[in-house]
A and B are shown apart, each in its own frame.
Chain A
Amino acid sequence: MNRLRTMKPAARQNLISYTLVTAAYLVIRLLQGQGMLSRSIQGQLVPICCYIVMALSLNLVVGISGELSLGHAGFMSVGAFSGVAAAVSLESGGVGSPAVRLVAAMAVGAVLAAAAGFIVGVPALRLQGDYLAIVTLAFGQIIVNILQCVYLGVDAGGLHFNFLDAELHMEGGVSIISGPKGTVSVTKIASFTAGFLLILVALAVVQNLVNSRAGRAIMATRDNRIATASVGINSTKYRLMAFVVAAALAGAAGALYGLNYSSVAPSKFDYNTSILVLVFVVLGGLGNMWGSIVAAAFLTALPETPAMRGLADYRMLVYAVVLILVMLGTNNPSVQSFLNGKLRRKKRRKEGAVK
């Protein structure tokens, strides 16, 4: 372990992460090219990427910053709806390239979700523990309720907005957001490659933040707030930093998600989705980015495997049982020590090979 530390573990870890994610992407692309992936798996690639980014960003809040946030899907919804609005507006404005629209949508989604994160975070992060959890839970509910009343359309004259009333007074034009129906008739432009790139960006942002001066301040605040404050670190500022960065990443993931379906309802982003993402984070291990990636991919794909689909009525029952077993299994000390032992041995072997 000492040798590892002297070799700039952060840089090494980052490199390993990027390489493994890229390798996974290339393998899937290769299989896809060979026609070896079923439609079921191909259809899940983009949502899995979105959930991975969601889990990575929530891990930054829950694992690194140590705050329990129960409204993460709320930021995803902000990103999804603003991203779709941006993409459709650009399309009707004559921007033909899907790649440009997708990137612009993700950027808009990230910025607006970050703004939402800032607005929620400034008052909320003065609270701690359970109180913060309740405020974020409420935020998640409020944003869904607001979005259910939003009507948005675009025509030659620009964007038309209305609240609670479906009448948009448009001349021709297309409807983008239609109250409880959510986004309607969206041209699907999300792609697996974009999802993969977003995961890389999210990993880079999170890992670099964690290994920076600010990241150490965030973790110090998590471990002991009073001690951190006593050495002159503004704990609210650093916690807010983690919270806003996580919101921005969730917004980008939401934009990608929104552009993968022709219609997404606001109710998709209720607390169930927030809890689902929290499950990914907890199952993968708090503060463990790799765990988040694996847990998000595994738990999203699991109930959709043909074997599970074949179970029909018992599908969700078995899913729950598997979830409990995995939780028990990963928390079992003997399993943990077994896994740790394996990993350590592997690491040592690798180190030997590098030297």
Chain B
Amino acid sequence: MKKKFLALLLALAMTLALAACGGGGAAGTIKIGGIGPLTGSTAQYGIATDEGAKIAIEEINALGGLQFELNGQDDEADGEKGVNAYNNLMDWGMQILYGCTTSGSCAAVAAESFGDRVFQLTPSASSTTVTEGHDNVFQLCFTDPNQGRTAADFIKNNGLAQKVAVIYNNSDDYSTGIYQGFKAQAETVGLEIVSTTTFPEDTTTDFSAQITDAYNNGAEMIFLPIYYTPASNILIQASQKGYDFTYFGCDGLDGILTLEGFDTSLAEGVYVLTPFDTASDAALRFIEKYKAATGSEPNQFAADGYDCMYALYAACQKAGVTADMTADQVCEALIPVFTDPGFSVDGLTGSGMQWGTNGEVSKDPLIVQITNGVYVSQ
């Protein structure tokens, strides 16, 4: 028994010792608080935004001017944990909020940062509820309905298809948001949606019912406003059935080429609406650094994170933000800069990015087609 007690005590002591070695920040740096899912089922996105931002901060700090410090906290893609992380960062002395990665958590946190007057820039929370009524919250990514509208326009203008089927995840606000934008714009431009089928988050392996429905209704193209893992299953199952559809996906499909165990030849000819142009020089440099730092390919989320830091850097310089300013002073200084029509940022996910007073970004969408296993701009 004594031994067991000793073991228990030692284990507790070790836990506490581990717990004691966090925190601490250098003087004269601007404290940026990051929130995203670092654990849980969406951790890949949170880790990507976190790592992408870290690479940018290293570069910015090496320039010797303004110094940034990033404290990335986990929210498990949950609003409650997001608000907890936010409060924790406020205790830490956060001056600028970078996040959240996911829309659901971001909507809950945005209400808090709005109340406290903390400037917030999200790399990838694309829901409109994030920015609605919050003058302090800005997005670096396109909003969901905006992506849907852009996709419908592109399909119509390029005559890719006339009869379109949609398969979307109705338990995901990202997917539902794009679908709603797509549907509205398709009606406007005269694109025919012949089949609309859905699936919930926890049923992403068997899509035969959805694919058959699309086929029976004579769809030429399937629009996939979903993430790449379920999309890969759709591609595989449709090819097994011998159906030959054209596919069109949004930024959630970015990453399908690096999916483990997936035959990329099935993705040939797939259109992807993604802001991350992996062919530019700057992107290649970023990809190299990211691989060296993390050992994996960066996705669009990492590029969004990288761009966020440079946007903040440019805005802080223009607004004359210094490390001794309080969070609300920084916020009031940055808002007019971001909404200034003369302020624009060139990044990996678009050049000439500008922001409106509603917090939404305006940049040119990039549509690529997968040809011979690589993205080719359209």
Contact = CB atoms under 8 A, between A and B. Distances in A.
A89 to B, nearest CB: 19
B23 A306 contact: yes
A38 B91 contact: yes
A143 to B, nearest CB: 13
Nearest to A164: B170
Contact of A334 (B1, B16, B127, B198): B1
Contacts of B127: 181
A267 B173 CA distance: 11
A267 B171 contact: yes
A148 B199 CA distance: 11
A277 to B, nearest CB: 13
Given A42-B87, A268-B79, A180 B171 contact: yes
A148 B170 contact: yes
B15 A179 contact: no
Interface in A232-290: 261-268
A43 B198 CA distance: 37
B233 interface: no
B299 interface: no
A308 to B, nearest CB: 6
A304 B88 contact: yes
A137 to B, nearest CB: 12
A307 B87 contact: no
Contacts of A185: 111, 129, 132-133
Interface stretch (B102-110, B254-262, B276-284, B307-315): B102-110
B242 interface: no
A47 interface: yes
A332 B9 CA distance: 14
Contacts of B250: none
Nearest to A318: B15
Nearest to B127: A181
Contact of B170 (A141, A180, A316, A321): A180
B39 A149 contact: no
B129 A180 contact: no
A312 B38 contact: yes
B111 A307 contact: no
B80 interface: yes
A309 interface: yes
Interface in A311-325: 311-316, 318, 321-322, 325
Nearest to A321: B15
Interface string A55-66: 000000000000
A328 to B, nearest CB: 8
A43 B83 CA distance: 8
B8 A325 contact: yes
A191 interface: no
Given A185-B133, A309-B73, A316 B4 contact: no
B173 A180 contact: yes
A82 interface: no
Given A264-B108, A306-B88, A179 B11 contact: no
Secondary structure of the B contact surface, majority rule: helix
Interface string B1-23: 10011001001100110111111
Interface in A38-55: 38-40, 42-44, 47
A184 interface: yes
A263 B132 CA distance: 12
Contact of B176 (A180, A262, A304): A180
Chain B, interface size category, equals 35 or more
B176 A309 contact: no
Identify the interface centre among A42, A166, A261: most chain B CB within 10 Å of its CB.
A261
A239 to B, nearest CB: 29
B172 interface: yes
A182 interface: yes
Interface string B63-89: 000000000111000111001111110
B79 A261 contact: yes
Contacts of B83: 43, 261
Contacts of B202: 141
Contacts of B80: 47, 261, 268
A312 B176 CA distance: 32
B129 A44 contact: no
B321 interface: no
A309 B35 CA distance: 12
A94 B39 CA distance: 43
Interface string A93-137: 000000000000000000000000000000000000000000000
Nearest to A180: B173
Contacts of A141: 202
A309 B23 CA distance: 9
Interface string A164-182: 1010000000000011111
A39 B23 CA distance: 17
Interface in A296-355: 304-316, 318, 321-322, 325, 328-329, 332, 334
B201 interface: yes
Given A308-B19, A314-B18, A182 B87 contact: no
B90 interface: yes
A184 B5 CA distance: 50
A263 B74 contact: no
Contacts of B74: 312, 315-316
B22 A332 contact: no
Nearest to A39: B87
A326 to B, nearest CB: 10
A311 B84 contact: no
Contacts of B21: 310
Identify the interface centre among B21, B90, B129: most chain A CB within 10 Å of its CB.
B129
Given A43-B87, A184-B129, A262 B171 contact: no
Q: Which 8 A-B pairs have the closest CB atoms?
A: A310-B22, A262-B111, A307-B19, A263-B107, A43-B87, A39-B87, A181-B173, A180-B173
Given A39-B87, A141-B202, A267-B104, 16 more contacts: A40-B88, A43-B83, A43-B86, A44-B87, A148-B171, A181-B107, A261-B79, A262-B108, A262-B110, A264-B108, A265-B173, A268-B78, A304-B88, A311-B18, A316-B74, A318-B19
Interface of A: 38-40, 42-44, 47, 141, 144-145, 148-149, 164, 166, 178-182, 184-185, 188, 261-268, 304-316, 318, 321-322, 325, 328-329, 332, 334
Interface of B: 1, 4-5, 8, 11-12, 15-16, 18-23, 38-39, 72-74, 78-80, 83-88, 90-91, 103-104, 107-108, 110-112, 127, 129, 132-133, 170-173, 175-176, 180, 198, 200-202
